[in-house]
Chain A
Amino acid sequence: MSSCPPAASFFGYIGAASALVFSNLGAAYGTAKSGVGVASMGVMRPELVMRSIIPVVMAGVLGIYGLIVAVILVGQIAETNYPYFLGFAHLASGLANGLSGLAAGICIGIVGDAGVRATAQQPKLFVGMILILIFAEALALYGLIVALILSGKTTSAGC
């Protein structure tokens, strides 16, 4: 049975913060990188712009994942009966979701940028680009799954 020092809530809060911050960094990279690609190819093929917003939407979803995990974690951090066990579990939960979202956002950005530019020149590549983006989005989903499992840890410690 671990102890309940006040420092445990520090780690829990840092977990909640990192869940959102790293996911937002990944979403920002994905949105910016693929947005520049969309604008560049839209000059030549304006009719394809609305289909090419798909990488931007998928990058935005990463921010939603971070928001979900951060709100769940903040709801569980408490001043009393909060041992190191829960503090470090919530830190791990936030880092798992956040760093996965960062990685997936970088991936979606680079693939989306190259994909929309290539799809403008060869329309048959659209389905292939979507498939690669789905694999990249699944990486963030793995982080979300682990984060939700870790945030569901409970303890019967009374201190």
Chain B
Amino acid sequence: MSDTFSYFNCWFFFFLPSCYSYWENYFGSISPYFFASLGTALAVGLSVLGAAWGIFITGSTLVGAAVKEPRIQSKNLISVIFCEAVAIYGIIMAIIMQSKLADVTSPSAFTGYGLFAAGLTVGLSNLACGLCVGITGSSCALADAQDPQLFVKILIVEIFASALGIFGIIVGIIISGKCTFT
């Protein structure tokens, strides 16, 4: 009666020490290629999502404010370019990560988890950065429409915002450097 152990309880009481081996087997049987590939996808997918979000926030404000002040549209395209740079960070990271994907007989879980974390870091950091640059760029366009001398001053705020994407890609490159399947 006591030599068979039911793992049914582990679905509800997953913190029990007797359930560690169950979850280890469950978690450890997922191929590391799942994590590595998902990380690569999230790196570019979430970065592009952030860039798109920022571009539509900035772009819609820009064209709206340019109705009365058409002179602002050429200078304020730089806000749209800052958002696009966020997507470029994502695609650079994804290309670096996909070059690590190699088919071996026993892939190491360490590399899989590392590439997943790198992709998550880059993707979510760029999502936040793209949103921030978009909101700041839209307020820059509105301020420029009222007073031309404000453009350069509010651009300083946008430069602080785009630094967040650089932090993400720095950590992503450091993690990817540690990870190799072969």
The answer to whether A21 and B121 touch (CB under 8 A), given A7-B24, A67-B167, is yes
Residues from 1 to 21 in A contacting B, C-beta threshold 8 Å: 5-7, 9-10, 13-14, 16-17, 20-21
Least distance between B101 CB and chain A CB atoms (Å): 17
- Residues of chain B within 8 A (CB-CB) of A28 are 128-129, 131-132, 161, 164
Closest to B136 in A: A35
CB contact between A53 and one of B27, B139, B156, B174 (< 8 Å): that residue: B156
> Looking at the complex, which of A43-51, A128-136, A142-150 is the stretch in contact with chain B?
A43-51
- Name the prevailing secondary structure of the A interface residues: helix
Q: How far is the CA of A66 from the CA of B113 in the complex (A)?
A: 20
Closest to B144 in A: A39
Residues A7 and B109 in contact, CB atoms below 8 Å apart: yes
The answer to whether A42 and B167 touch (CB under 8 A), given A16-B117, A17-B120, is no
- Residues of chain A within 8 A (CB-CB) of B160 are 31, 56-57, 59-60
Q: How far is the CA of A31 from the CA of B85 in the complex (A)?
A: 18
Beyond contacts A6-B28, A20-B167, A42-B143: 20 other A-B pairs, Cβ-Cβ < 8 A, are A9-B109, A10-B27, A21-B168, A25-B124, A25-B128, A28-B132, A28-B164, A32-B136, A36-B136, A39-B139, A39-B143, A39-B150, A43-B147, A49-B154, A56-B157, A66-B167, A67-B171, A71-B171, A74-B174, A74-B178
- Give me the interface of B with A, judged by CB distance under 8 Å: 24, 27-28, 35, 108-110, 113-114, 116-118, 120-121, 124-125, 128-129, 131-132, 135-136, 139-140, 142-143, 146-147, 149-150, 153-154, 156-158, 160-161, 163-164, 167-168, 170-171, 174-175, 178
The 26 sampled A-B contact pairs (Cβ below 8 Å) are A6-B28, A9-B114, A10-B113, A13-B114, A14-B117, A17-B118, A17-B121, A20-B171, A24-B168, A27-B128, A27-B164, A28-B128, A28-B131, A28-B164, A31-B164, A35-B135, A35-B139, A38-B157, A39-B136, A39-B140, A40-B143, A42-B154, A63-B164, A67-B170, A70-B171, A74-B175
